[in-house]
Amino acid sequence: MATVEQPPVVTKPEQPVKTNGRWIAYARLLQMRMLELQREPEVIFWVFVFPLLLALGLGIAFREKPADVTPVAVVQGPKAQQLFDLIQRSPQHAAIQVEVLSAPAALDGFRLGKYALVVTMDDFGVHYRYDPARPESVLARTQVDDALQAAAGRRNPISTETKSSSEPGARYIDFLIPGLLGMNLMNSGMWGIGFALVEMRQRKLLKRFVATPMRRSDFLLALVSSRLVLMLIEVALLLLFGVLVFHVRVEGSLAAILLIGALGAISFGGVGLLTASRAQKIESVSGLINLVMMPMWIFSGVFFSYERFPKMALPAIRALPLTALNDALRSIILQGASLHSQLGRIAVLAIWGGVSFVLALRWFRWS
């Protein structure tokens, strides 16, 4: 081939050469991930608002109610006033609400459930009309009878004392908040990492990324880091909510709670990564994620204590990562346990996270 003069080269005005540092890609990946999450309203709802609503709903449903007042009808008659005074004088008067009415009105009210008991007093004594099939009616009869006897001067042969237990630290909401925290970390870790990865794989975005010099470890690290940032917000929000609304007392150190939270987020990030390491379709990974989470929803003691399951199953239940996370969070938040005392549970979380991370990297499909 004859040597030809090179055509004149059209160059753009020289730009100063920009050089990227080692961690620029990681920082950008994390920044863009956070921007994407922030622009996804449903993420905000499921990660932040939903757990609060759940805590609020369950907290209200199981709140300690003021002692029930028993509605009682007293039938009008010559001795009605005496009966009324006796009840008002009794030590139980605060728990009994008395109305004086005509016999038909009292019976009508009783039939409709407005009154638990109808009391009549005549020269022969006191007559109760109650329904043995209605627990509150049975209770009312005993209660009113006790009140009348006591007011009339009966002495109890044994002195007894009762203490009600509804102090912060022992209520259902105290049990619930750490469980919700653990469940939320599992949910958001599994969905936030597993689902996001498969979506990016399906869009061929992962393949596009590995066609650049991007370090794969930077990418995965940024994804896990984004979970940690969200974890901080989740833990802070839910704890603050518990403290402000339900007066939950946080006994343990905040640093210990955050450390366990971070370990939980990373551990479930690893499990999420493994779950999503091969799946090509959103539909298949959704099924897989639910399959992995289902046993933990049931067994790991989110809403009720797993001690109710047969003893034989307990070691297996305690080996689940969510059980370890919930137990550790409960011990630290409710009992002020030290990190040191939680080493076993920390090990369970670390093993789940570590093993699934290693397996995920081996099986991971970028395209």
Partner 1 sequence: MAVAIQCRGLRKTYEGKVEAVRGIDLTINMGECFGLLGPNGAGKTTTIEILEGLLEPTSGQVEVLGRSWQSSAGDLREWLGISLQETRLSEKLTVRETLQLFSSFYHHPGSVDAVLEELSLQEKADAWVGKLSGGQKQRLAVATALVANPKILFLDEPTTGLDPQSRRQLWDIVRQFQQRNGTVLLTTHYMDEAERLCDRIAIIDHGQIIAEGTPPELIERLTGHHVVEFALSDGNATNGHNWSKLPGVQSVRTEDGLFSLQVQEPHETIPALLAELQKQRAQLVHLTTRQASLEDVFVQLTGRHLRED
Question: What residue ranges bind partner 1 (CB under 8 A)?
Answer: 1, 9-12, 15, 17-20, 24-25, 27-29, 32, 35-36, 39-40, 203-205, 207-214, 367
CA-to-CA dists, residue 318 to 178, 236, 258, angstroms:
16, 26, 21
Q: Looking at this protein, which amino acid is placed at residue 280? A: Q
- Provide the pairing of β-strand 70-75 with 117-122: parallel
Q: Do 149 and 139 contact (CB within 8 A), yes or no?
A: no
Q: How large is the C-alpha radius of gyration of the chain? A: 33
Question: Which residue number, 63 or 207, has a Cβ lying nearer to partner 1?
Answer: 207
Question: Which residue number, 222 or 274, has a Cβ lying nearer to partner 1?
Answer: 222
Question: Whole-number minimum distance, CB 270 to partner 1, in Å?
Answer: 24
The Cα 116–Cα 130 span in angstroms is 7
Q: Do 353 and 325 contact (CB within 8 A), yes or no?
A: no
Question: Whole-number minimum distance, CB 221 to partner 1, in Å?
Answer: 14
Which residues are paired to 265 by β-bridges? none
Question: Which residue number, 12 or 163, has a Cβ lying nearer to partner 1?
Answer: 12
Q: Do 324 and 348 contact (CB within 8 A), yes or no?
A: yes
Question: Which residue number, 89 or 207, has a Cβ lying nearer to partner 1?
Answer: 207
Question: Which residue number, 97 or 202, has a Cβ lying nearer to partner 1?
Answer: 202
The Cα 219–Cα 197 span in angstroms is 11
Question: Whole-number minimum distance, CB 211 to partner 1, in Å?
Answer: 4
Question: Whole-number minimum distance, CB 36 to partner 1, in Å?
Answer: 5
Question: Which residue number, 230 or 235, has a Cβ lying nearer to partner 1?
Answer: 230
Helices (H), 18-121: 24-38, 41-44, 50-61, 80-89, 103-111
Question: Which residue number, 282 or 298, has a Cβ lying nearer to partner 1?
Answer: 282
Question: Whole-number minimum distance, CB 68 to partner 1, in Å?
Answer: 53
Question: Whole-number minimum distance, CB 335 to partner 1, in Å?
Answer: 43
Q: Do 337 and 252 contact (CB within 8 A), yes or no?
A: yes
Question: Whole-number minimum distance, CB 213 to partner 1, in Å?
Answer: 4
Q: Do 185 and 268 contact (CB within 8 A), yes or no?
A: yes
